[in-house]
Structure formats: structure tokens, C-alpha cells
Amino acid sequence: MDNKGIAAIFAEIANMLDINGVDFFRVNAYRKAALTIENLANDLRQMVERDPRELDAIPGIGRALKEKIIELVQTDKCAEHEEMKKDFPPGLLEMLNLRGVGPKKIKLFFSELKITTIAQLKDAAEKQLLRDLEKMGEKSENEILKAIEEYGSFSSTRHIIDVALQEAEQYVEYLKQCGEVKQIQYAGSLRRWQETIGDIDILTTVKDPGKSVKKVMEYFTTYSEVLKVVAEGDTRAAVILKSGINVDLRVVAEESFGAALHYFTGDKNHNVKIRDLAKKKGLKVNEYGVFKGEKMIGGKTELEIFEAVGLPYVIPELRKNDGEIEYGIEHKSFPEFIELKDIKADLHSHSNYSDGKNTLEEMAEVFMARGYEYFAVTDHSSIMAVTGGMGTKEIKQQWKEIEELNKKLKGKIRILKGCEVDILKNGELDFSDEILKELDVVIISAHMFNRLSYEEQTKRLLTAIENPYPMILAHPTGRLINKRAEMEFDMEKVIEACVQNKVALEINSNPNRLDLTDKYVRIAKAKGAKFTIDTDAHSVNHPEFMKFGVGIARRGWLTKADVLNTRSFAEFDTWF
């Protein structure tokens, strides 16, 4: 079993112990171990194989847990976990996915009302049985109903983009090794950098249409990550991967590759519009090509499709029948949209001064390796005690370290003194002006109180934005994809306040957030907002996320000029 699997089992044990109400120390020990393992750079399997004593070097994991790690590595199971699961209703663990429902409440519902599933919980809430329980009430009962509804709408889960992208890239790499493949490209929502992915669509052409197709099909269906082959035809196959993602493969003729790539990139609404346009010109466009009567007049490249209907090339990110076709016809070209290579800095990152996993210097090294000119370390303020938020003393200590590092790294990269300051319930900020005025980058964000009323939430955010110190509003909606809905507030007013107060809106590139969404990005751009694209990195592995934020920015029609962290440090500094 790999690190991820072991961490998941430890987390599950912690949750079970917690729901059972067993001693706090064991719960904590398991939870901490799960977190440590999840972020471990080394593979536990290799460590155990080389010498189990290597585990002693992992901090914060006691002896008993180390023995369990060895057991899991060697047998894929842990006897204690199996034993616990035997009598534990699985529905209790599922309830943990409900917003605002934790082990304490699950224990309460179980012991008072024998509730073991979400369905039973919903029923009890509807019958108003929950409100009379200890520490509950009408309001919290309604919140539970709302959380169940929210969870239900997520249960047809689409895949998070980084998981899908990684699977697609690995599959494509594998398929390239089959000697018969000529061109290959993933299409669909993934190529459009849509925030979540239903399934992966891969297109290929082959070297010898007579002989190769069958070989490619066979190669595709025998990939080691395939769980199940769902369909296998002459030129099309579909599989489900072990990760749960479905993948479609289509082998197409070389003269049709562009047409097929355009068709299967979509989206559907864009395709329909292109077909209608073609019809008006007396042409037919489909996944095989462009046709005038019976005669095929294009289809080898995507550009041939666009040109046939009077359009310039439309980048995949724009294809959603959301004005791109009208714009292209009118202007004959598109602005130069932002690209990953334009990014010169990351303005939202964490170190081990709060809940980041790495030191400042380690973070500086990865940002340097990406070729950035500067970056801001923005550890949490103190209200985020759970994440080890910084008080005045710690932040001043961090400044010292930043100054020393800046001397050491001079000419290579510049570290900016930043902070991700929490917005308190009343809209005030979680640091005194004395600290705020010393910072190079002040990010404000709402991590708590996300269930205030629409009016209160709007007022809270406006108060924070109007404070003279903030520069960036981080992950503005607070949503977590497939897990937590957006906070409810007046987005237009918030955007307008940001414009007036010179606060940039963040596009948070973490694939679980992608916040702002492309829809709001476009609205905000129209109102004259400026943006930063940040990764909110909590470890050296996360600066990689930048590409997802850039994808959202492109879907939102942003150019380099709209995004502040494409500027050199001097230009960036003068803007604020």
C-alpha cells in the first residue's frame, strides 16, 4: 500500500475513534500521522523495504503507529482497522462529508436517535427531531438539511482537474510508446481546462491504417491502470481506470484529425453553433471534415474548420458558445491571452511558520526553479490557530528570516513579506495596523463565518475591502469543489469595491478551489478589476498548480495586462 492509502486508513481510524468518543490523544495521534504521511516526500514502501528503521527518522509518529505502517506496507491491511470496521456503520463515516457535521454531532445523533445513515439523518431533520438535542436548535437543524442537499448535488462527482490531467498525460505517454501511434491528443473538457472533468477523451491517428488500428486498440485496453474495459469497437474503445475515471479512445483518419479534434474538444454548444454557421455558408462540418456537397474541402487541422466558417483560430479555453464566435467573426482575431510563461511571481504561499510543510528557503528554491522574479510568503494570521497562525512575535521573527534570506539570495529571487490575514466576523482584520503597514503583500481571506446571511456577508467583505491595507482578496467565494458551496454574498458589489479600493481579485489555482471561477473573472474584468493568479502553495509540490489558474484566466478572457503577477517587481510595486 502506498503513502496515500496508509494516510487514508489512519485518518479513518482517527474518525472512528473520534465518533466512538475514545480518548482524545489517540485520535490526535492518528490524525497527525495521517497528515504527516500525506505530505511525506519519501515512499514508505521503499523505506520499509530498505530498512524499517528508516521510519524512525519521520518526526511525530510513535512506535505503535510505525508498526502499523510496516503492517500496511507488507500486508495492505491493518488488523486493528479491520477489527474496528467490523462493527462500525459505514454511513457514520459518510456523514463526515456533510458541511458542519463532525464526529461529535455524529456521535450525538447515533446515541440519541440511532441514526447511522445520511438518509436517516435527513428524515430526522425533516421530522424536526434534531432541534431538541443538546447544543442543537432550529437553525442548526436547517443547516443540516441544507448540507445534505448540497452533498446530494455533489454526489454525481466530476473529477478534479489535476487528477484527470495526470491520468491523461500518463495514458498519452504510455500510448506513444506503442510504435503504431502517429498523432495523439486528449480533447474534451480537459483540453478546455474546464474546472472539473467528466471523462477523458483521447484521439489518435496511426501510421498504417490497414494494420495499426487493431494494435493500438489492444495496447489501449491492456494498460496497467485499466480496471475494466467497457467497450471495444473497430476504431473506438472505452475503459474505466482504477482511479474511477472513464477514458474514451478514438482512432481517426489523418485527413480528419483536425475535424475530430475540434468536434471532441467541444463544448457541445460551441460545436452546434459552428455547424449552424457552416450551414449558412452552404457547407457541412462534422467530426470527419468540412464538406461542400460530397466533396471534402478541409479537416486535417482545426484551423481549417475555423477558416471554413470565417473565424480565426479559437483557443480551446474559449470554446463554450459564450460570445467567442461572434467576437471572432467581428474582429477577425483575438487578444493575446495570458500564458503560463508570462507569470513572474506567486503572491500567495505558505511556509512552516503556519500550516505550510516546508521552510521559507525550500519554498524560495522551488519558486526560483520556476524562474520567478519574486514571491510573497503569506502565512496565516493568528485566528487560524488550527493552522498554526502567526502572532505578532512570530511574524516579526519571520521578517528577520526573510531579510536574511533576501541578502543570501540577492539577484536570484526576492521574497516579499506577506500575510494571509483573516477577515473577522465584523469585517475587521486579524492583525493590527502596526503590522499591516509593514507588509509588502496583504492578502485578506474569509476562512470562517462562511454561513452568515447574504446581507451580513456582503457587509463583512465590503468592510474588509475598504480597509486601507489589503491588496488581494484571496479565494473570494470560499468554495471547495465537490465539497463546499460558495459563500452567499453580493459578488457584483464586492467586485466594485475591489476596483474602487485597488484590491486585486485572486484566481486561486489550487485544483480544489479554482476560485474565482471563469464566469466571475469575466464579470470582474468587465468592471475593470485587476487579478493575481496564485497557487496558495502549502508545500514545494504546489507551485505546479499555477497552470490551472492560468487556464481559468484564459477561460475568463484575461490578458497579461489584467494580471498583476505578470509584472516585474518594480511595476507591480508601483501599481499598489
Binding site for ligand DGT (CB under 6 A): 188-189, 197-199, 201, 263-264, 266-268, 271-272
Q: What SS3 state is found at 354?
A: coil
CA angle 198, 204, 207 (to 5 degrees): 165
Q: How far is the CB of 550 from ligand DGT (least distance, A)?
A: 19
Of 3, 61, 95, 188, the residue at the interface with Ca ion (CB under 5 A) is: 188
State the Cα–Cα distance between residues 459 and 470, nearest whole angstrom: 16
Contacts 24+ apart (CB under 8 A), 145-148: 146/99, 147/98, 147/99, 147/100, 147/101, 148/98, 148/118, 148/121, 148/122
Give the residue closest to ligand DGT by C-beta.
266
DSSP type of residue 375? E
Query: Residue numbers of the site for Zn ion (CB under 5 A)?
Result: 420, 536
User: Nearest distance from residue 490's CB to Ca ion, in Å?
Assistant: 34
Q: Using CB distances below 5 to 8 A depending on partner kind, what does residue 266 bind out of Zn ion, Ca ion, ligand DGT, none?
A: ligand DGT
Contacts of 41 (CB under 8 A, 6+ apart): none
Please report whether residue 201 would count as binding Ca ion according to CB under 5 A: yes
**Binder of Ca ion out of 38, 150, 162, 199 (CB under 5 A):** 199
φ, ψ of residue 106 to 5 degrees: the values are -60, -40
Nearer to Zn ion, 204 or 508 (CB): 508
Q: At closest approach, how far in Å is the CB of 153 from Ca ion?
A: 20
Enumerate the H helices of 283-332 as residue ranges. Answer: 302-308, 324-331
Nearer to Ca ion, 189 or 477 (CB): 189
**Options 11-19, 195-203, 234-242, 375-383: segment touching Ca ion (CB under 5 A):** 195-203
Q: Which among ligand DGT, Zn ion, Ca ion, none contacts residue 302 (Cβ within 5 to 8 A by kind)?
A: none
Give the residue carrying C-alpha cell 507488507: 74
Q: CB-wise, 159 or 475, nearer to Ca ion?
A: 159
266 contributes a contact to Ca ion by CB under 5 A: no
> Rounded to 5 degrees, what angle do the CA atoms 362, 368, 370 make?
115
Of 389 and 511, which has the nearer Cβ to ligand DGT?
Answer: 511
**Cβ pair 141, 128 in contact under 8 A:** yes
Say how far apart CA 186 and CA 306 lie, in whole Å.
19
Smallest distance from ligand DGT to CB 287, Å: 8
Least distance (Å) from ligand DGT to the CB of residue 164? 8
| Residues in 233-262 at the binding interface with Ca ion, rule: CB under 5 A | 248
Question: Which C-beta is closer to ligand DGT: that of 188 or that of 556?
Answer: 188
Toward ligand DGT, which CB reaches closer, 273 or 451? Answer: 273
For residue 5 the three cell numbers come to 492509502
150 lines the binding site for Ca ion (CB under 5 A):
no
Per-residue burial over 281-300, b if 16 or more Cβ lie within 10 Å, else e, is eebbbbbbbbbeeeebebbb
The stretch among 126-134, 183-191, 465-473, 546-554 that binds Ca ion (CB under 5 A) is 183-191
d(CA 467, CA 460): 11
Q: Which three cell numbers mark 239? A: 475503459
Residue 356 contact among ligand DGT, Ca ion, Zn ion, none, beta carbon within 5 to 8 Å by kind: none
For residue 500, the minimal CB distance to Ca ion (Å) is: 41
User: Which partner, Zn ion, ligand DGT, Ca ion, none, binds residue 536 by CB below 5 to 8 Å per kind?
Assistant: Zn ion
Q: How far is the CB of 270 from ligand DGT (least distance, A)?
A: 8
Pair type for strands 284-286 and 226-232: unpaired
Indicate which of ligand DGT, Ca ion, Zn ion, none lies near residue 216 (CB less than 5 to 8 Å, by partner kind). Answer: none
Q: Which is nearer to ligand DGT, 219 or 263 (CB)?
A: 263
Residue 348 CA to residue 534 CA, distance in Å, equals 5
Strand partners, 400: none
Distance in Å, CB of 289 to ligand DGT, minimum: 15
Nearest distance from C-beta of residue 86 to ligand DGT, angstroms: 38
DSSP letter at 266? -
- Of Zn ion, Ca ion, ligand DGT, none, which one sits near residue 544, judging by CB under 5 to 8 A according to partner kind? none
> Among residues 211, 205, 290, which one has the least CA distance to residue 249?
205
CA distance 409 to 564: 23
> For the residues of 534-561, what is the DSSP string, one character each?
E--BSSTTGGGGHHHHHHHHHHTT-BGG
Measured between alpha carbons, how far is 555 from 337 in angstroms, rounded to an integer? Answer: 9
The CA distance from 80 to 72, in Å, is 11
Q: Which is nearer to Zn ion, 324 or 379 (CB)?
A: 379
The site for Ca ion (CB under 5 A) is made up of 188-189, 199, 201, 248
